[in-house]
Amino acid sequence: MNGAESLVKTLLANGADLCFANPGTSEMHFIAALDKIAGMRCVLTLFEGVATGAADGYFRVRQTPATTLLHLSPGLANGLSNLHNAKKAGSGIVNIVGEHASFHLQHDAPLTGDTEGVAWPMSHWVRTAQSSAAVAHDAADALAVARATPHGIATLILPADASWGPATEVACVADAAAPQAADAQALQAATVALLSGGDAALLLGGQALRSKALDWAGRIAARTGCKLLCEGHNALLQRGAGRVRVERLPHDVARAYETMQGITRLVLVGAKIPVAFFAYPNQPSLLVPTECEVIALANAGQDVEGALEALARELDAPAGCTQFVAQRERPGLPHGKITPQGIAATLVALIPEQTIVVDESISVGHRFFPLTGGAAPHDWLNSVGASLGYALPVAIGAAIAAPDRRVLALVGDGSAMYTLQALWTMAREALNITVVILANRSYNVLRGELNKIGVSDPGPTALGMLSLSGPELDWVALARGHGVPAGRAHDLGELAREMQRGLSGEGPYLIELLI
């Protein structure tokens, strides 16, 4: 057994049997080991950001870490943006990054770089394997970091000689410690705050947005009259008919600030103090009114669902909270011009139960999201880190995590371009993903930002930097080039037709929605 084989065996022995890979020469021993040792599902991606984003999506849906296989410091660098997104989403991931043989590093070969330096900004844990004998334990330590609460991004750097050298062991990952319960004092403070009148709110995030936790939140709201809010960007929000409704903080700073107005007591459960997406001159960074008392009941490292249950029991909140539960709406399929309302109605009418919606629709999405609460029960995933190019890769991971469910990716054209190589992996793995490209042919959100800094009438240079036209991207051709069938929708009727096709067919389908 060599180091690479002990690594693969250790991963498999501990249930880590999925690897999103974009390998190079330094990873060939790992690849050779996969042939010898059965059980690892390897998913090839043609760009590293697809691998890391897919691992993020897999974790969000399955709540267990996948691995990525990346090639040296520049390969890892290509995966960083989606590791940033995964880190912000609280996803656990194990990155295995090939490296030059330890004795070769000093010679500054073409691909030599500071791999640990590249890893640190987007990792919680980084280690370079010191020998082939140590690799199994290194892998177990990395898995432990990814599985602990809060979950971590663990990057294990694997010099080629640690792969090809001898090894004897397969290591075990110790069971993760149970997440810590909410502090008794915080629980008491939250209880008092919620019982002191009607201008209190729960701000929910992370694990508090799974349906069981939401049930407890609904009971608390029914008992105390508090508002139920969630963060603006969530790793996974369970919603739709039968689930407790929460109001998502708007992305727009002014509107978010408005939503928070009048709240005098804010209880954070799995959420952080809300902060403006960007700062603007003479505007506050924090979205909490100055007079508002903030009580942190449980953070992402704690037992968030348990904290809500304890709070509900402390408050004697009775079962049942019907008024907070979303009802199923069954609108007819809309026709005519594309509007946010029309997109929302189409989604409500068509998305099947348990659909996983991966949303990176940016400027339009903020307008149709609030209108989709009456759809069949579904999961809604946002980009928590907000680096563009998260949706297509995350959709891959989600589809692999839940092969019986439909995945719907709603992506702006500008965003989708960052990781369009994901389409090929969707086709190769025959994943049931329907991609809707919201093609406004511009970085539309930036038009708004330019406006916010006082430029209401941008000149040709600025406009050129915000426009995706001249030439226009042809998403139907781009999809077909990657092996994904595709269609185009110019109006709501065509959108419904194309969505029905995508959501009922086998394998991926892409819809270019001209908005």
Q: What is the 3-state secondary structure (H, E, C) of 297-361?
A: EECCCECHHHHHHHHHHHCCCCCCCHHHECCCCCCCCCCCCCCHHHHHHHHHHHCCCCCEEEEEC
Among 247, 258, 353, 472, binds its own copies (CB under 8 A): 472
Among 373, 424, 432, 435, binds its own copies (CB under 8 A): 424
Only segment of 22-30, 174-182, 206-214, 400-408 that touches its own copies (CB under 8 A): 22-30
Only segment of 111-119, 145-153, 182-190, 302-310 that touches its own copies (CB under 8 A): 111-119
In the complex, the smallest distance separating the C-beta of residue 391 from its own copies, rounded to whole angstroms, is 15
CB distance 271 to 298 below 8 Å: no
In the complex, the smallest distance separating the C-beta of residue 432 from its own copies, rounded to whole angstroms, is 16
**Residue number, 30 or 216, with CB nearest to its own copies:** 30
C-alpha distances in Å from residue 409, one per residue of 35, 316, 476: 33, 40, 16
In the complex, the smallest distance separating the C-beta of residue 454 from its own copies, rounded to whole angstroms, is 8
Q: How many CB atoms lie within 10 A of CB 76?
A: 27
Count the site residues for its own copies by CB under 8 A. 105
Among 12, 13, 77, 148, binds its own copies (CB under 8 A): 77
Interaction with its own copies in 118-157: which residues (CB under 8 A)?
118, 120-122
Q: How many CB atoms lie within 10 A of CB 210?
A: 18
In the complex, the smallest distance separating the C-beta of residue 284 from its own copies, rounded to whole angstroms, is 10
**Can residue 445 be called a binding residue for its own copies (CB under 8 A)?**
yes
Among 12, 294, 325, 468, binds its own copies (CB under 8 A): 468
**Can residue 294 be called a binding residue for its own copies (CB under 8 A)?**
no
Q: Which residue has the tokens 């209401």?
A: 456
- Per the DSSP assignment, residues forming a β-bridge with 180 are 302
**Can residue 84 be called a binding residue for its own copies (CB under 8 A)?**
yes
**Residue number, 102 or 339, with CB nearest to its own copies:** 102
Max intra-chain CA distance, the chain: 69
**Can residue 506 be called a binding residue for its own copies (CB under 8 A)?**
no
Interaction with its own copies in 302-341: which residues (CB under 8 A)?
none
Among 6, 10, 81, 234, binds its own copies (CB under 8 A): 81
In the complex, the smallest distance separating the C-beta of residue 104 from its own copies, rounded to whole angstroms, is 4
Length of the chain counted residue by residue: 515
Q: What is the 3-state secondary structure (H, E, C) of 448-498?
A: HHHHHCCCCCCCHHHHHHHECCCCCCCHHHHHHHCCCCEEEECCHHHHHHH
Q: 66 φ, ψ to 5°?
A: -100, 170
Q: Which residue from 420, 419, 463, 412 is spatially nearest to 441, judged by alpha carbons?
A: 412
CB distance 353 to 56 below 8 Å: no
In the complex, the smallest distance separating the C-beta of residue 186 from its own copies, rounded to whole angstroms, is 21
